[in-house]
Homo-oligomer: A and B are copies of this chain.
Amino acid sequence: MAMQHTPLLMHRILDRGAKVAPTEEIVTATEDGARRQSYLETRARAHQLAHALKDAGIGVGDRVGTFMWNGSRHLEAYHACAGMGAVLHTLNIRLSDKDLEYIIGHAEDKIIIADADTLPLLEVLKDRMPSVEQVVVATEAGFEGWSTDLPNAVDYEDFIAGKPGVFGWPEIDENSPLGLCYTSGTTGNPKGVEYEHRSQYLHTMAQCMTDAMGLSATDTMLGIVPMFHAMGWGLPWSALMLGCKQVMPHRFMDPAKLLDLLVTEKVTVSAGVPTIWQGVKALYEANPDQYDLSSLSRLTCGGSAPPPSLIRWFWDTLGVEMIQGWGMTETSPLATLSRRVMKKSQLELSEDEQFENVAKAGQLMPGLELDIFDENFEPVPHDGESVGEILIRGPWICSEYYNNPQPEKFHEGWLITGDVGKIDPEEYLIISDRSKDLVKSGGEWISSVDLENHIVALDGIAQACVVAHPHPKWDERPVALVVLEPGKEVTAEAVINHCATAFAKWQLPDDVLYIESIPLTSTGKMDKKVVRADLDAQGYQLPDMRESAG
């Protein structure tokens, strides 16, 4: 041994923010404003929480569930569990009671920390969580008088009161589990991704690189992506390491509150799914002189691809750079990123060309390997045309699911992502679709994402969703569902003609349907499973079929 082999444990970086920026703020949104505490207080409270959890029987490797919005106490739970070697199991509060029952039981959570306003959702599971010994209730203003029929419930503040403000973090193996997050699969039960210290440590370092999200201690970060999604995209860890100001929206996820936080807290960087930014854009446009967003410099957008028109709007209107990221729960999640200028040669591109790049999923983060393969796992050329299944591997990529290995999701050490895409000669990844959302027509694939992005750029269209519908001859044909902007009218013919400017005839949607809103998944993505089920339930038929029936 010539160099120190210091285990890559999260506590080595998480305690740092409070050391370098003790007075910096963690801001949690409240009904009528915001609640503030310093990094120094937050760190002390995290250490107190660790003591309380330990005293309540939580040891190294035990699972602690959180059923919480983004807020300072959720951050403390992140910090405490990682420090003490417990496993933070972030429960998605938007899941069905059936899924929640399954994952709490599968993870064998011993304690659940829940926000008081979410208790009704948890109480549904009252007698269906045999592993849970205690519920710790985090109380924000307005919920002080909480009560619950869940057994052995205690207020968070009582739980940590009087505990020492310093916990001697244990030295454990760097590959010890750290966090657990279940993905809502399309079939079967949810599958758990178990993060480890080393994997999240390396992910945190990568995320803080200049050429990643460029996060800095000088930033003010508003993480809108819920902390129950893929470790909040890793932002809580990065912020705790850097000591940057954090703004947390708690349960106030409406565009009005988000815009209010962006303005009043002088947020510099934020992160959320495209539907969030579409909502923010719509509200801003309705009141263009009301919001001073001059502090804001960049938005990271992930979960699903933002339409290029949205990326462009933020740049042209606000001078805000939208950074597209691609990843999934299984990839920690940061895998690829796209910024307006990511290398020197791009400095010479026109602004339009630069934005073509941002519309791609982007460049792979250093340390990861990614490639596209055909159905025999032969590599597909990087020509920007050939489509293949995306496989990825590296030190923050999942190798199996928690207590449910699912070997068919892996191939010779690679994760089979379930996304299909292209790689262009510049080594940029372009996501074509989730493999399950591709439209398979006449032996060819049609990308629903490409059609959606094109349709939504048409004036008068607020949102677009393209799904496959069964067809006896072609297997499947695309159907476009659109949400119009208020007061606007766009004919189906106009939509099809607009698509015809960019797509081949056989790729055009067979039908254009008008809907009020698009159903979303618990992670804020368009829920195409529900859209397809709704069409089936309505007895929807493709125009071809109606004609043949007529």
The interface-forming segment of A27-35, A398-406, A453-461, A525-533 is A398-406
A3 interface neighbour in B195, B241, B346, Cβ under 8 Å: B195
**Given A177-B2, A366-B241; A343-B210 close (CB under 8 Å):** no
Question: Do residues A20 and B399 form an inter-chain contact, with CB atoms below 8 A?
Answer: no
Question: Do residues B214 and A4 form an inter-chain contact, with CB atoms below 8 A?
Answer: no
**Given A3-B195, A3-B199, A366-B205; A217-B342 close (CB under 8 Å):** yes
The minimal Cβ–Cβ distance linking A121 to chain B, given in whole angstroms, is 28
Which of chain B's residues has its CB closest to A330's CB? Answer: B3
Question: Do residues A4 and B393 form an inter-chain contact, with CB atoms below 8 A?
Answer: yes
Question: Do residues B395 and A24 form an inter-chain contact, with CB atoms below 8 A?
Answer: no
Question: Do residues B2 and A399 form an inter-chain contact, with CB atoms below 8 A?
Answer: yes
Q: Give residues of chain A (175-203) contacting chain B, Cβ–Cβ below 8 Å.
A: 175, 177, 193-196, 198-199, 201-202
The minimal Cβ–Cβ distance linking A5 to chain B, given in whole angstroms, is 6
Residues of B within 8 A of A208 (CB): 209-211, 366
Question: Do residues A20 and B344 form an inter-chain contact, with CB atoms below 8 A?
Answer: no
Provide the bound-state CA to CA distance between A195 and B426, in Å: 33
Question: Do residues B3 and A399 form an inter-chain contact, with CB atoms below 8 A?
Answer: yes
**Given A2-B196, A413-B4; A210-B214 close (CB under 8 Å):** yes
Interface status of A258 (Cβ within 8 A of chain B) = no
Across chains A and B, which 3 residue pairs bring their CB atoms closest together, nearest first?
Answer: A2-B194, A3-B199, A217-B343
**Given A175-B5, A199-B3, A366-B16; A343-B205 close (CB under 8 Å):** no
A366 interface neighbour in B13, B194, B216, B402, Cβ under 8 Å: B13
The interface-forming segment of A67-75, A242-250, A383-391, A500-508 is A242-250
A463-475 to B contact mask, C-beta < 8 Å, 1/0 = 0000000000000
Provide the bound-state CA to CA distance between A8 and B24, in Å: 34
Residues of B within 8 A of A59 (CB): none
**Given A13-B367, A395-B8; A218-B347 close (CB under 8 Å):** yes
Interface status of A215 (Cβ within 8 A of chain B) = yes
**Given A1-B400, A206-B205, A366-B205; A344-B220 close (CB under 8 Å):** yes
Each complex incorporates copies of this chain amounting to 2
Interface status of A345 (Cβ within 8 A of chain B) = yes
17 A-B residue pairs with CB within 8 Å:
A3-B195, A3-B332, A4-B395, A4-B397, A5-B198, A13-B367, A19-B427, A23-B345, A201-B367, A205-B206, A208-B210, A208-B211, A211-B217, A217-B344, A218-B341, A218-B344, A218-B347
A411-449 to B contact mask, C-beta < 8 Å, 1/0 = 001000000000000110000000000000000000000
Which of chain B's residues has its CB closest to A12's CB? Answer: B367
Residues of B within 8 A of A287 (CB): none
Provide the bound-state CA to CA distance between A366 and B23, in Å: 19
Provide the bound-state CA to CA distance between A171 and B366, in Å: 18
Interface status of A66 (Cβ within 8 A of chain B) = no
Interface status of A78 (Cβ within 8 A of chain B) = no
Which of chain B's residues has its CB closest to A394's CB? Answer: B6
**Given A209-B209, A209-B210; A21-B344 close (CB under 8 Å):** yes
Which of chain B's residues has its CB closest to A268's CB? Answer: B344
The minimal Cβ–Cβ distance linking A334 to chain B, given in whole angstroms, is 13
Residues of B within 8 A of A201 (CB): 367
A366-390 to B contact mask, C-beta < 8 Å, 1/0 = 1101000000000000000000000
Residues of B within 8 A of A347 (CB): 218
Question: Do residues A4 and B394 form an inter-chain contact, with CB atoms below 8 A?
Answer: yes
